[in-house]
């Protein structure tokens, strides 16, 4: 029997309010009453990977981990950003002329959201954007970066919620999600789909989001895990190629769609194809790679669409099997896993108490999510950590986070814990 190895287990870790708000007041001296605090979670996707930009179903859930932002209006129209996570970085921008600058690092995300929000308001003709106040914004977060838990979308939605409050816009959560996605697509330049921003905007505690990405119709689905937990594990693989590979997959899907449209001119998205229709369509695809990519999308979207039925029935065993199927398909057909994610998932499949495990997010590194029996969690983590380290050469980390509510103002909650 192996001795227990030391494993990093991370739980939701909100800011130390005294310390963080002291940092905020050093950065933005002034009246205590005008400070407000907002939070936006990260997300874990339970099923439906690489289906959002193919008009398919996804089943993500908001986490209890995320991004906090303390904010105070400024009268000079400027936006100023600091983060407790990146000491020394202090970015000031003129709200009326925001541009992406690589040297601004994390601040490009809130800048992008402010840009997208002003564009959106101008299009709506709702307010004269010239009159909007600027803001001092201080961030903190407990999500790992580049790990597939949507730390970027979390910063975006924390900013969107804060500006929504500060500018008294009363915008719907769905609009905040859409303009945050626009910030990421057009300002930051990453071609993500809508899943991350949407789930972070509308998420609710203990519920997953069943979202049809072709219509944006959604419903919240109770996730009753009985005596099980979600265990997230981080490969710690550097994700250098992730963005170019993600764009490559999007191009391949577009090619597959174009070929299928020759025989089905009405087809708008790959995920519109049902598993029953699929066998008759395969001959329309002229390359085995395109066939595999399209097959993943068809069956993955179907899994995500049907899984709420399994959750409603409380059939976690069947749900776990769907998670495993999803990983197989992402590994063999979509080819976005890689040795590290495969090592983590395979280690999980062989570990005690595990009903299912799969990669979550874009892939090419990042995290897996596993459904694990409560009483076996310690043994599960020990075994997965050991097997992964033997195969890959370094240790994974583990995150134990419940499913929490979406982006929101938390000023009153913070005030109860800290006397403003």
Q: How far apart are CA 352 and CA 209, in angstroms?
A: 28
Q: Which of 196, 212, 333, 342 is catalytic?
A: 196
CB of 185 to ligand GLA, least distance (A): 10
Which of residues 49 and 340 has its CB atom nearest to ligand GLA in the complex?
Answer: 49
- Build a one-symbol-per-residue string for 183-222: x at contacts with ligand GLA by CB under 6 A, - elsewhere: ---------xx-xx--------------------------
Rule CB under 6 A: is residue 334 a binding residue for ligand GLA?
no
Instruction: Please report how close the Cβ of residue 95 comes to ligand GLA at its closest, in angstroms.
Output: 26
Q: Are 418 and 389 a contacting pair, CB within 8 Å? A: no
In this structure, the strands spanning 91-94 and 207-212 are unpaired
Query: How distant, in Å, are the alpha carbons of 14, 69, 219, 233 from that of 2?
Result: 34, 43, 45, 21
User: What SS3 class is residue 160?
Assistant: helix
**Closer residue to ligand GLA in complex, CB, 166/195:** 195
Residue 52 engages ligand GLA in binding (rule: CB under 6 A):
yes
Q: Contact letters (x/-) for ligand GLA, 59-98, by CB under 6 A? A: ----------------------------------------
In the bound state with ligand GLA, the residue whose beta carbon lies nearer, of 190 and 306, is 190
CB 197, CB 153: distance < 8 Å: yes
Q: Which residue matches tokens 């399994």? A: 310
Q: Which stretch binds ligand GLA (CB under 6 A): 44-52, 97-105, 224-232, 314-322?
A: 44-52
How is the beta sheet containing 57-58 ordered, strand by strand? 57-58, 207-212, 217-222
**From the CB of 248, what's the least distance to ligand GLA, in Å?**
13
Handedness of CA 367, 368, 372, 378 (dihedral sign): negative
Subset of 102-131 contacting ligand GLA (CB under 6 A): none
User: In this complex, which beta carbon is closest to ligand GLA, that of residue 136 or of residue 212?
Assistant: 212
**DSSP labels for 17-41?**
HHHHHHHHHHHS-S-GGG-EEEEEE
- DSSP for 347-360, please give it: HHHTSTTEEEEEEE
Please count the residues of the chain: 420
Q: How far is the CB of 342 from ligand GLA (least distance, A)?
A: 17
Q: Give least dist CB 196 to ligand GLA, A.
A: 5
- Give the interface size with ligand GLA as a residue count (CB under 6 A): 10
Residues 407 and 267: beta-carbon distance below 8 Å: no
Min dist. Cβ of residue 53 to ligand GLA (A)? 6
Comparison of 192 and 223: residue with beta carbon closer to ligand GLA: 192
Q: Which one, 60 or 134, has the nearer CB to ligand GLA?
A: 60
Active site residue 333: no
Q: Record the tokens describing residue 393, joined without a space.
A: 């050469």
Report the helix count and the strand count for the chain, using DSSP H and E. 12, 14
50 binds ligand GLA (CB under 6 A): yes
Does 49 interact with ligand GLA (rule: CB under 6 A)?
Answer: yes
Task: Tell me which residues in 336-395 interact with ligand GLA (CB under 6 A).
Answer: 361-362
Judged by CB, which is closer to ligand GLA: 65, or 195? 195
- The SS3 assignment for 365 reads coil
Contacts of 49 (CB under 8 A, 6+ apart): 58, 300, 326, 330, 334, 336, 358, 359, 360, 361, 362, 363
Stretch near ligand GLA under the rule CB under 6 A, chosen from 6-14, 46-54, 136-144, 390-398: 46-54
Residues identified as active-site = 196
Rule CB under 6 A: which residues touch ligand GLA? 49-50, 52-53, 192-193, 195-196, 361-362
């Amino acid at each position: 029997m192996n001795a227990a190895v030391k494993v990093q287990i991370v739980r939701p870790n909100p800011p130390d309010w005294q310390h963080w708000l002291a940092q905020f007041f050093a950065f933005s001296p002034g009246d205590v009453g005008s400070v407000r605090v907002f939070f936006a979670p990260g997300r874990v996707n339970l099923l439906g990977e690489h289906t959002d930009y193919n008009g398919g179903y996804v089943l993500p859930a908001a986490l209890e981990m995320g991004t906090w932002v303390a904010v105070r209006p400024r009268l000079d129209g400027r936006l100023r950003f600091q983060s407790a996570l990146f000491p020394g970085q202090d970015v000031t921008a003129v709200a009326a002329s925001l541009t992406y600058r690589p040297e601004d690092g994390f601040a490009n995300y809130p800048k992008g959201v402010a840009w997208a929000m002003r564009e959106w308001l101008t299009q709506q003709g709702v307010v004269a954007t010239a009159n909007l106040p600027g803001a001092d914004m201080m961030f903190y977060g407990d999500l790992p970066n580049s790990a597939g838990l949507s730390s970027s979308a979390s910063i975006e939605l924390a900013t969107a919620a804060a500006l929504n409050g500060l500018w008294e816009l009363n915008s719907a959560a769905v609009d905040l999600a859409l303009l945050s996605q626009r910030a990421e697509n057009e300002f930051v330049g990453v071609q993500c789909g809508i899943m991350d921003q949407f789930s972070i905007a509308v998420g609710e505690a203990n519920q997953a989001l069943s979202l049809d990405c072709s219509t944006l119709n959604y419903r919240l689905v109770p996730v009753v895990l009985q005596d099980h937990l979600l265990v997230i594990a981080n490969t710690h693989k550097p994700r250098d190629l992730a963005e170019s590979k993600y764009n490559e997959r999007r191009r391949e899907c577009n090619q597959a769609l174009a070929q299928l449209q020759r025989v089905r001119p009405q087809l708008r998205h790959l995920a519109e194809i049902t598993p029953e229709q699929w066998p008759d369509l395969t001959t329309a695809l002229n390359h085995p790679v395109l066939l595999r990519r399209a097959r993943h999308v068809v069956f993955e979207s179907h899994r995500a669409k049907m899984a709420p039925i399994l959750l409603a029935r409380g059939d976690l065993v069947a749900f776990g099997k769907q998670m495993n199927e999803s990983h197989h398909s992402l590994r063999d057909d979509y080819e976005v896993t890689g040795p590290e994610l495969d090592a983590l998932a395979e280690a999980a499949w062989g570990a005690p108490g595990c009903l299912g495990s799969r990669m979550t997010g874009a892939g090419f590194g990042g995290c897996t999510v596993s459904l694990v029996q409560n009483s076996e969690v310690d043994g599960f983590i020990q075994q997965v950590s050991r097997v992964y380290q033997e195969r890959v050469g370094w240790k994974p980390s583990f995150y134990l986070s419940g499913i929490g509510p979406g982006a929101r103002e938390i000023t009153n909650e913070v005030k109860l814990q800290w006397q403003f």
